[in-house]
Amino acid sequence: MERISWRSFPCVEEPGTSAFVFVVIAGFLYIVWDWTRQWYMVALCAAVLFAALLRFFVPSRYTLDEDGVSVRTGPFVKRRPWRAFRNAYFHRVGVHLSPFEKPSWKDSFFGVFLRYSGNRERVETFVKERLECSGGE
């Protein structure tokens, strides 16, 4: 059985973006502190921002095999069979697997995004062999 596994850690792989993200978050948290002077509001905002950007701050482990796709980010695991996807859209940094035949605003909620992290050719070939793809960059 063919299988591909790789790890993606955008916070480490993209140091320029990481520096920008940290500066923006620090600025935002400073504004929250300046407006509220409440440490728990700053902590709450920091927790919400961290949760929203979890896939940036925590390494993700991707596995593609004959049965489907698995994405593990921290304690969270998302596993979907290939039959759950109708289309794939290939981008510069990754591929978005969609359960819809045509592009939809619901894609970001129900689809799965796989970052390439140096595996672009292998991932694209593997996905194209299992799905009939019409999407593109």
User: Does any domain span residue 136?
Assistant: no
Which amino acid, residue 28? F
| 88 DSSP β-pair partners | 97
Query: Same structural domain for residues 48 and 78?
Result: no
Residue 131 has a pLDDT of 86
| Domain count within the chain | 2
| pTM (2 d.p.) | 0.85
| pLDDT digit string, tens, across residues 53-65 | 999 999 999 999 9
| pLDDT digit string, tens, across residues 68-88 | 999 999 999 999 999 999 999
User: Does any domain span residue 44?
Assistant: yes
Q: What is the mean pLDDT of the chain?
A: 93
* Full domain range(s) for residue 92: 3-7+60-130
| 78 DSSP β-pair partners | 71
Which amino acid, residue 134? S
User: Does any domain span residue 16?
Assistant: yes
> How far, in Å, CA of 105 to CA of 12, rounded?
30
The CA-atom distances, in angstroms, between 65 and each of 49, 84, 121, 136 are 32, 14, 16, 22
Query: Same structural domain for residues 92 and 43?
Result: no
Query: Same structural domain for residues 40 and 88?
Result: no
Which amino acid, residue 48? V
Encode the chain (137 residues) as per-residue pLDDT tens digits.
799 999 999 999 999 999 999 999 999 999 999 999 999 999 999 999 999 999 999 999 999 999 999 999 999 999 999 999 999 999 999 999 999 999 889 998 999 999 999 999 999 999 999 986 555 55
> How far, in Å, CA of 137 to CA of 69, rounded?
21
> How far, in Å, CA of 42 to CA of 33, rounded?
6
> How far, in Å, CA of 6 to CA of 21, rounded?
24
